[in-house]
Amino acid sequence: MAATGQEKTVSDYIVHHLTNLTYGKLPEGFDRYDGHTVGAGGEWAFAHGADEIAAMGFNAVHVDSLAWSIGLGVIFCALFRWVAVRASAETPSGLVNFIEMVVEFIDNQVKDTFHGQNKLVAPLALTIFVWVFLMNLMDLIPVDVVPELMVLAGIEYQKIVPSTDPNITMGMAVGVFILMLYYSIKVKGFGFAKELALNPFNHWVFIPVNLFMEIVGLLAKPFSLGLRLFGNMYAGEMIFILIAALFGAGILWVLPASLLQIGWAIFHILVITLQAFIFMVLTIVYLSMAHEDH
């Protein structure tokens, strides 16, 4: 599976499916895949292969992850806007009823978990749950469909599950972390610094120990939030790819691979929903902790 049409090994197949469509700046003097050398000042281009992606370093953007995540966000906004316009006092039905059930479910979770006063938390929780769920849901699309269509269109790489990209999951986690710090300072003021310095040992002698433990615990929150989602979804995508690779092992593997694909997809419906729920609940919990002023 490649734009060149050459035969690929299973390893090449897996690497191809796990490579993002990357756009970035190649350094001066770099030898590209087509034989030409990057001139003075570097060159902005789409990467072809892992060596070019590595050479780009931080001067690179995962175009596919950004495009799919933004597109799914637009779909989420448009869908909920469409439902909101059609909502009425009468008994809802169909999609309107389902969306109202989701909104009520999220609202109850916020009421049970968040104990402060903040009108941002419920809409944020709803956005996170639905957006992460939609990103995870892309994992149920057969792994070869979109990449093969993109290859026909001249685009070599395409990952369609944004939550399998740590840049996306960690970006969301950092956003939650910034909100945590903002509300911790806004609600607690100087009390936030005291909380870091005098907890758990309430004595000035232990301030260095307290600061070390509290700061490590504070920084662990966004890392655990983002990496948990990424790790689970990446593992699920890898299993889908490995199962898909079985179809090329011979006609005897077609039926077992089909059964495995269906079984894993059914189980994965639970995984994608659970991961969206966990990300949402932890966000509510962290913001609730930021509003607790002891």
Residue 103 lies in a domain: yes
Asked about 118 being catalytic, the answer comes back as no
Q: Considering only CA atoms, which of 124, 73, 229 is closest in space to residue 166?
A: 229
Tokens of 242: 């490995």
Domain count, the chain: 1
Interval 197-250: pLDDT, tens: 888 888 778 888 888 998 998 999 999 999 999 999 999 999 998 888 888 777
Which residue in the list 59, 108, 224, 258 is annotated as catalytic?
A: 224
Which residue in the list 86, 232, 258, 288 is annotated as catalytic?
A: 232
Q: Considering only CA atoms, which of 75, 194, 62 is closest in space to residue 134?
A: 75
Structural domain including 256 reads 64-291
85: CB partners within 8 A, 6+ apart: none
Residue 21 lies in a domain: no
Residue 46 lies in a domain: no
Residue 204 lies in a domain: yes
Residue 23 lies in a domain: no
Edge-first strand listing for the sheet containing 22-26: 43-46, 22-26, 60-62
Which residue in the list 32, 118, 228, 288 is annotated as catalytic?
A: 228
Residue 13 lies in a domain: no
Residue 86 lies in a domain: yes
C-alpha distances in Å from residue 110, one per residue of 119, 123, 228, 252 = 11, 10, 21, 51
Interval 22-36: pLDDT, tens: 999 888 888 888 778
| pLDDT of 3 above 70 | no
SS3 60: strand
Say how far apart CA 159 and CA 68 lie, in whole Å: 9
Interval 93-116: pLDDT, tens: 778 888 989 999 999 999 999 988
